[in-house]
Amino acid sequence: MSEKIRLAFCVHSHQPVGNFPAVFRKGSQDCYLPLLRILKDYPQIRMTLHYTGPLLEWFEANEPEFFELVSELVERSQIEIMGGGFYEPILPVIPQVDAISQIAYSRRYCEDKFGVSPTGMWCAERIWDPGVPEKIAGSGVEYTLLDDSHFLSAGLSASDVHGYYITEREGYSLKVFPVDMNLRYLIPFRQPHEVVEYLMEMKRSGVQVVTYGDDGEKFGMWPGTHKWVIQEGWLRRFFDEIIRASEDIEIVPLCRVIDTCPPRGRIYLPTASYQEMMEWSLFAEQGRVYEDLVKQAKEKDEWKELRGFLRGGMWDNFFAKYPESNLMHKKMLKISALVRQYNEPEDALDHLLMSQCNCAYWHGLFGGIYISSLRHAIYEHLLKAEAIVDRQRFSGTPWIVEVTDHDLDGKEEVLVSGKDINCYISPYWGASVFGLEFKPAAYNFSNILMRHPEIYHKDIIDAGAEHDIPETGEPLSIHDIPRVVADGYKDLLVYDLYPKYSFLTHYLEDTPSVETILKMNKIGSADETPIPFELASTVQDQGRLELVFRGRLKDIAIDKTYLFYAENTVAVSHAIHQAKEDSWVVVECNVMSVSEQMPSVDDVVLVENRGSFSARKVTVADTEKGVCLSVESDSPWDICIVPIECISQSEEGFEKTFQGWSIYFSRRGSQPIPEIRSRMEAICQS
């Protein structure tokens, strides 16, 4: 009798830091607990399970049955618990010391709760960099799993991409399993017997070990999967089919393969992720080119041969594609350095590690960076860590001013840090504020996403084509579900020419169009791009800080002054020299309210979500988070208020996402420009 083929089976389950409690609860009820309950009924089925820290902490606080089930399955050696970065960071882009802390945290948690010390590591989003083995050296990790495309890109033929290999960097080694892409699309979307037939075909070709590793949410949370996998019994039928084929197929945890099978050889893998991720990381224009190339290869039946070489970009490119992601990342690096500098207070380190959860830093099929609550969670934990460090950091000085290239764009920024507020200023972008942060509430009012073009926006523009959906009863993979385009979405495909910062200074030679602002959230002028400034002077005296920036546009000179006061107030004033009679100055403030509350104008809450006013004061509150920001002046301005709205995609389809409020303060440039003050304060939470 020929040797069995081993199906090394791994299920990875994750919810991001900052996700809504209702999502955790639904996942527990529809997916995570049902999978464990069914697995308990099949003692012959053994596999590897991975749960990330946010899920484990939610289960610990809300669902004791989870720990009872997992502990029982561990005790009877039915499951292997896999470790990894506890809060699911992208390991290649966080400091090495933090990567080791993330893995150590995961190991300690598993030892404490389940009595096991994991030897495997889930590599978040299968993001691989050749330096990973060296980066995690000494962490106790013996193996990980990556996509088969990594191995194809390294030059292996498809017939060699199975079993596991060893890779190394500077003598630090790591075992790596290739995840079979076909299995990722078969399970659980095709009938169980089709999965078995595929495995038998692999066995006949001489394969001894094939690896499956993918999201646990496919087993009950993705659209249509709870009904298909749990209620209609796909998972039980799958286990039954595997047991019936037990003379030929054995389902095992990954550690079992390492214990009983030698590696197939040594391999050196390029920087990569799964194929879809490498597509999503591309800028929209080239992403569409790549999409067409993949489509052509599939139509010509050349995809199998070409997919190892027809690659997209790399995950790090999200920092270029979304400057907002880059700002979060560079803030994280800054706080990481501060936490280490000030002796690693344990509670500060915890918040730092939570801020490294990857989901808010990128966007693909899921909402990711478009979900303001996920971005807020990143900043919330960064600011909490910073506030803890500040107890040691501020000694006798109310303000710390740093002039540095914070975002690594080749231009210097001015970072003002106080005990209660931070104000990060970009001289290049109109001496505007890209980080207006209130530490007592751990809230970043500048947590705004500008409107970016996306690869899939062409599907909205071209909406109306018919899609043939096979009526098999099987759920479609979320990659294949046709997206419905709601009325009005095409009109929202407007893209920003500059970041949506606050106190952006625009000098216009014509009148700003109120109609264009209210309809498109754009000034609509040929010279709407903010004026570049340079820092001219810094004066700090008795708790008061003054920064003066100087900008020039043709023969017009503008002095822009920031005044910082101890009572959490920042004042901005302008002095314009040789302004033309018919010119206009527009000061644009973009402000986030994570709970999407309507602003108030002169203390009257808006009924409509846009409008024009002659007023002195605009207030943006977030009563759910207990914070508000008032922007006011002693003299009235012409004010326009309009929401920032993006069209993004998620696993449910296309959706409109709120990204904050744009507030435009306009006055004639030939008139004196009154000071604008912003004040942050804590309010009662609702």
| CA dihedral (646, 648, 650, 654) positive or negative | positive
Pick from 44, 505, 413: which is nearest to 240 by CA?
Answer: 44
Quote the mean pLDDT of the chain. 94
- Span 70-82, average pLDDT: 98
- Note the pLDDT of residue 480: 60
**Residue 464: pLDDT over 80:** no
Residue 686, number of CB atoms within 10 A of its CB: 11
* Distances from the Cα of 128 to the Cα of 76, 236, 270, angstroms: 33, 34, 8
Find out whether 55 and 24 touch, Cβ atoms under 8 Å.
yes
Helix (H) and strand (E) counts for the chain? Answer: 21, 26
Q: Which CATH architecture has domain 402-445+484-682?
A: Distorted Sandwich (2.70)
Pick from 405, 358, 363: which is nearest to 98 by CA?
Answer: 358
| 466 band by pLDDT with thresholds 50, 70 and 90 | very low
- Note the pLDDT of residue 554: 84
188 cis-preceded (ω within 30 degrees of 0): yes
| 650 band by pLDDT with thresholds 50, 70 and 90 | confident
- Span 313-340, average pLDDT: 98
Q: At 116, is the secondary structure helix, strand, or coil?
A: coil
User: How many residues belong to the chain?
Assistant: 686
Find out whether 669 and 507 touch, Cβ atoms under 8 Å.
yes
**Residue 477: pLDDT over 80:** no
Q: For the chain, give the percent of residues with pLDDT over 70.
A: 97
**Which of 19-33, 205-219, 478-492 has the lowest average pLDDT?**
478-492
Ranges of CATH 3.20.110.20 domains, the chain: 5-271
Cα–Cα dist 218/619, whole Å: 43
User: Could you list the active site residues?
Assistant: 125, 215
pLDDT digits (tens, 9 = 90+) for 235-288: 999 999 999 999 999 999 999 999 999 999 999 999 999 999 999 999 999 999
**Residue 452: pLDDT over 70:** yes
Radius of gyration of the chain (CA): 27
**Residue 53: pLDDT over 60:** yes
pTM: 0.95
- Note the pLDDT of residue 338: 97
Ranges of CATH 2.70.98.10 domains, the chain: 402-445+484-682
- Note the pLDDT of residue 580: 84
Q: Is 5-271 assigned to CATH 3.20.110.20?
A: yes
- Note the pLDDT of residue 567: 81
Find out whether 527 and 511 touch, Cβ atoms under 8 Å.
no
**In which element (H, E) is residue 369 found?**
none
Over the range 637-676, which residues count as b (16 or more CB within 10 Å of their CB) and which as e?
A: bbbbbbbbbbbbbbeeebeeebbbbbbbbbbbbeeebbeb
**Residue 469: pLDDT over 70:** no
| Alpha helical stretches, state H, 253-411 | 254-260, 275-280, 284-299, 303-306, 318-321, 323-341, 346-355, 372-393
* Distances from the Cα of 167 to the Cα of 102, 170, 296, 345, angstroms: 22, 10, 33, 35
- Note the pLDDT of residue 484: 74
* DSSP assignment string, 525-547: -TT-SPPPEEEEEEEEETTEEEE
